[in-house]
Amino acid sequence: MLKKVLVANRGEIALRIIRACRELGIRSVAVYSDADARAPHVREADEAVHIGASPSSESYLVGERLIQAALRTGADAVHPGYGFLSEREWFARAVRDAGLVWVGPPAEAIAAMGSKTAARTLAIAAGTPVVPGTTTALRDAAEAMEVARTFGYPVLLKAAAGGGGKGMRVVRAESEIATALEQAQREAKNSFGDDAVYVEKYIEGPRHVEIQVLGDMHGTMLHLGERECSVQRRHQKMIEEAPSVAVSPELRARMGAAAVAAAKAAGYVNAGTCEFLLDAKGEFYFLEMNTRIQVEHPVTELVTGIDLVQWQLRIASGEKLPFVQSEIVPRGWAIECRITSEDAANGFLPSTGRISYLKVPSGPGVRWDGGIEEGSEVGLFYDPMLAKLIVWAPTRESAVERMHRALLELTIEGVETSRDFHVRVMEDADFKAGAIEIQWLERRLPSLIAVAPTAEEVRIAAIAGALFAERDRSAPPVAGTSATSAAPATESSNWLRTARAEGLR
Ligand code: ADP
């Protein structure tokens, strides 16, 4: 078994890995930038190494410093988490060349799945269905038009090196294609340093369903069923669940087999995810493979009972998987909400500040994978995801209710968060019915945000109103808190803020 692991990441995923290490008796080494000097992951690890200034380009993205930190502390392995350098073939290779174990797939497998076009080529060869489109970069607009004509509009231009929904353009008519191609190429160049853009058929109204795979070094490759990640904004996931209402045991077996075939074709080892689009007819199309642990891995852990991060470490230590495919059957339902420092009511504007108060939900079936605590500074250096709230319950209906309850227990003061947005989704009739697909949220968002306040907001506004009215009777009015017992609905968020500021929550 590995003895000491350097965790080349920050925030909730660094803590998640440190916890898995501790449970396995492995020592952990955290790394941190200036901004993270007092972050929880630094304190929770057995050791910590300062690696540079706050911008990630001067710390978490400097491979050489991470490797030096591992060598200096006598670590025998590096766990990259997700994001940062987790999917960089050169980094996986450099870690290996330094005599360290990479807790992830071989560098060659990362390379094979590294660009969307390479992954498509590989999937086609493995017999895994892909979205109709090209497998090479477009030369020019004329070629894009020619290809688009063969399968018809709308089409999607995509950056081969893409990630995080960047470098993507939907094109609905031939007249738009030249401009869209230029824009996609420019964005791809800026974001990934590579302007290769290819074209796919744009599938209308599919679900995003992905399959978790897990393979050891001894030739076993299994799938752990699906995650439904259709609740997306700007091609980015907001809420994930397992299993999916749209996936029958028979379809799960077929999608699982397709994912295992693609992973095997890439010589894959360790945990990975094959992403698919699933259309209303039950046809599925491979999108790409993520060659790392994913943000949404906990929902799979909760329905399968398999600790994915522990298994990443055990596989990297050379252990054999003790399960067989037929034993892996999802039990109950799990949902995850990404709690971000974004103000949903204001176009998801990033919010910064100091967490002045934090109340974390608990009780039956609730899991909090967080990277913050009271006193944490939330800046703009890193991803706005503060934490993940995950619940498990026997049925989807009870999981939605449990998530709603847990979200109401959650209080974060000091920055705006996506918490209220999630409360609204849990109260939404479409979501409750599982009637979601990848464009659902974008369509629903304006009404979701603009609607009347949530039941909880109404209750709090009423209490606040009554209390302030009572206080105003005995004291002179304070600016900004003058109370009227019948506050209009649109003022409820002000009421809420005032109530919070007054320490009522
Ligand atoms: P990224 O790596 O940038 O996340 P993906 O290929 O994983 O890009 O796609 C992200 C999201 O964009 C998908 O979950 C889906 O919502 C949407 N998408 C991607 N390809 C298509 C397509 N061909 N048709 C419709 N939507 C798509």
Q: Could you tell me the residue ranges of all domains in the chain?
A: 4-103, 104-131+204-330, 132-201, 332-452, 456-501
Cis peptide before 243 (omega within 30 of 0): yes
Residue 502 has pLDDT above 70, yes or no: no
Q: Nearest-CA neighbor of 276 among 128, 388, 176?
A: 128
Non-local CB neighbours of 375 within 8 Å, separated by 6+ positions = 38, 354, 355
235 CA to middle of ligand 1, Å? 6
Q: Where are the beta strands (DSSP E) in 260-332?
A: 270-278, 284-290
> What is residue 273's predicted lDDT score, i.e. its pLDDT?
98
Which residue's alpha carbon is at the smallest distance from atom 18 of ligand 1?
235
> What is residue 495's predicted lDDT score, i.e. its pLDDT?
45
170 CA to middle of ligand 1, Å? 11
In the predicted model, what is the mean pLDDT of residues 151-169?
Answer: 92
The token pair at 290 is 């993520």
> What is residue 490's predicted lDDT score, i.e. its pLDDT?
40
167 CA to middle of ligand 1, Å? 11
Pocket test for ligand 1, best of 86, 168, 285, 294 (most atoms within 8 A of CB): 168
CATH class of 104-131+204-330: alpha beta
DSSP result, 190-246: HHHS---EEEEE--SS-EEEEEEEEE-TTS-EEEEEEEEEEEEETTEEEEEEES-TT
Which CATH number describes the domain made up of 332-452? 3.30.470.20
Please say whether the structural domain 132-201 has been given the CATH code 3.30.1490.20.
yes
**Distance in angstroms (rounded) separating the CA atoms of residues 288 and 200:** 12
The token pair at 385 is 């995801």
Residue 117 has pLDDT above 50, yes or no: yes
Q: Where are the beta strands (DSSP E) in 17-165?
A: 27-33, 47-52, 77-79, 101-102, 155-159
> What is residue 476's predicted lDDT score, i.e. its pLDDT?
54
% of the chain at pLDDT higher than 70: 92
Q: What is the pLDDT of residues 230-269, one digit of tens each?
A: 999 999 999 999 999 999 999 999 999 999 999 999 999 9
Q: Is ligand 1 within 6 A of the CB of residue 365?
A: no
**Distance in angstroms (rounded) separating the CA atoms of residues 360 and 15:** 16
- Residues serving a catalytic function are 292
CB 195 within 8 A of CB 185: yes
The token pair at 35 is 């901004």
- Would you say the CATH fold of 104-131+204-330 matches that of 4-103? no
Q: Is ligand 1 within 6 A of the CB of residue 288?
A: yes
165 CA to middle of ligand 1, Å? 7
Minimum-distance ligand 1 atom for the alpha carbon of 131: 23
Q: What is the pLDDT of residues 178-202, one digit of tens each?
A: 999 999 999 999 999 999 999 999 9
Say which CATH architecture domain 4-103 belongs to.
Answer: 3-Layer(aba) Sandwich (3.40)
Type of residue numbered 348: F
CB-based burial of residue 503 (10 Å sphere; 0-12 exposed, 13-18 middle, 19+ buried)? exposed
CB 497 within 8 A of CB 480: no
CB 333 within 8 A of CB 299: no
CB 47 within 8 A of CB 30: yes
Stated pTM of the model: 0.89
Which residue's alpha carbon is at the smallest distance from atom 6 of ligand 1?
287
% of the chain at pLDDT higher than 90: 86
Q: What is the pLDDT of residues 214-235, one digit of tens each?
A: 999 999 999 999 999 999 999 9
pLDDT averaged over every residue in the chain: 92
